[in-house]
């Protein structure tokens, strides 16, 4: 009697919580179907759970909805380990891609070296020839520029031009006065005195004969006895009776050796 009363009370209490079925008689058929369902549920739970790489929370919510229970923190470890493996794999791929890109960067070096080689073989730009230094006292005539040296008497001029009074004289070398025989009336030349340039124009062209029978080699004309040397030094054309600003003289006629010749060519000129 007491046992029956205990069971009735217990059944009433459990009924309040919906747990009466725990003590009700269980039908073997229902038990078999329940076991099959549990087995089927177990098989489904063994299927791999798809992991959302973008959210760990979604993965945990899926497990909670399936079990209806809170998930132990240890259940998160496989996800973290899997995510770590994925990150490690991604970093490995990044490193591999970076390593693979290095040869491409290195391959550009020969191109730069080739450019350097081409640049080194390029011919340097032609530098303009330096301008010759023009003496402050000089004459430029028939393409030659010759230094002028002042003298007090008629002496050998050597490789330059001597000046005495208004007369410039020099040898008929190609580099000095060798080409003035091609000049005529109206031709011009330039004379520099202390760097100041003056242009002259030829007004008269006269040949004189040298008389070597005299000590100083008098200059005569047309077989006459007059020595024209003094008038030439003053740039005065005696026979024409015309004074000029400057006279230029060099050897002409038949060479006698030693820089001498049978004649002298004189050009009388005026400043322009």
User: How would you class 106 by CB atoms within 10 Å of its CB: exposed for 0-12, middle for 13-18, buried for 19 or more?
Assistant: exposed
Q: Give the Cα separation of 177 and 203 in Å (integer).
A: 18
230 belongs to a structural domain: yes
Q: How far apart (Å, rounded) are the C-alpha atoms in residues 1 and 45?
A: 47
**Residue 129: what pLDDT?**
76
Q: What is the pLDDT, as a whole number, of residue 13?
A: 59
* Neighbour-count burial of 204, counting CB atoms closer than 10 A to its CB (0-12 exposed, 13-18 middle, 19+ buried): middle
- 183 domain-assigned: yes
In DSSP terms, 190 is beta-bridged to 140, 199
Flag whether 29 is in a domain: yes
Domain containing residue 233: 138-271
Closest CA to 83 of 65, 58, 66: 58
89-105 burial, b at 16+ Cβ within 10 Å, e below that, comes to eeeeeeeeeeeeeeeee
Q: Is the dihedral of CA 240, 243, 245, 249 positive or negative?
A: positive
**Assigned domain for 256 exists:** yes
Local structure of residue 129 (DSSP, 8 states): P
Which pLDDT score, from 0 to 100, does residue 116 have? 58
**What's residue 164's pLDDT?**
97
Q: Is residue 210 part of a domain?
A: yes
**∠ CA 244-248-251, rounded to 5°:** 140
Question: Please, which residues have CB within 8 angstroms of residue 247's CB and are 6 or more apart in sequence?
Answer: 166, 167, 168, 232, 233, 235, 266, 267, 268, 269
The answer to whether residue 70 is domain-embedded is yes
* Each residue's pLDDT expressed in tens, for the chain with a length of 272 residues: 555 666 677 666 556 555 544 444 444 444 444 445 434 444 444 455 444 444 444 434 443 444 444 444 444 445 455 444 544 444 444 444 444 445 444 555 555 555 555 555 666 678 787 777 899 999 999 999 999 999 999 899 999 999 999 999 999 999 999 999 999 999 999 999 999 999 999 999 999 999 988 877 899 998 899 999 999 999 999 999 999 999 999 999 999 888 889 999 999 999 99
Of 82, 105, 123, which residue is a domain's last? Answer: 82
* pLDDT value of position 64: 43
CATH of the domain at 221: 2.40.260.10
262 and 142, same domain (yes or no):
yes
| 142 vs 102: CA distance, rounded Å | 71
Q: What is the pLDDT of residue 52?
A: 47
């Amino acid at each position: 009697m007491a046992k029956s009363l205990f069971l009735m009370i217990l059944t009433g209490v459990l009924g309040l919580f919906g747990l009466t079925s725990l003590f009700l008689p269980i039908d073997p058929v229902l038990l078999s179907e329940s076991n099959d369902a549990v087995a089927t549920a177990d098989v489904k739970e063994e299927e791999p759970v798809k992991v959302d790489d973008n959210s760990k929370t979604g993965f945990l919510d899926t497990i909670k909805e399936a079990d209806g229970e809170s998930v132990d923190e240890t259940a998160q470890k496989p996800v973290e380990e899997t995510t770590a493996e994925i990150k490690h794999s991604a970093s490995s791929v990044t490193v591999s891609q970076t390593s693979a890109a290095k040869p491409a960067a290195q391959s550009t070096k020969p191109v730069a070296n080739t450019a350097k080689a081409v640049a080194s073989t390029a011919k340097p730009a032609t530098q303009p020839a330096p301008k010759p230094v023009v003496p402050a006292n000089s004459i430029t005539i028939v393409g030659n520029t010759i230094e002028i040296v002042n003298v007090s008497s008629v002496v050998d001029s050597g490789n330059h031009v001597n000046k005495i009074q208004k007369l410039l004289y020099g040898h008929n070398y190609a580099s000095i006065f060798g080409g003035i025989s091609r000049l005529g009336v109206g031709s011009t030349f330039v004379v520099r005195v202390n760097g100041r340039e003056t242009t002259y124009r030829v007004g008269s062209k006269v040949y004189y004969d040298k008389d070597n029978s005299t000590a100083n080699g008098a200059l005569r004309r047309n077989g006459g006895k007059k020595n024209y040397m003094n008038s030439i030094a003053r740039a005065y054309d005696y026979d024409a009776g015309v004074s000029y600003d400057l006279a230029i003289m060099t050897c002409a006629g038949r060479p006698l050796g030693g820089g001498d010749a049978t004649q002298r060519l004189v050009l009388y000129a005026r400043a322009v």
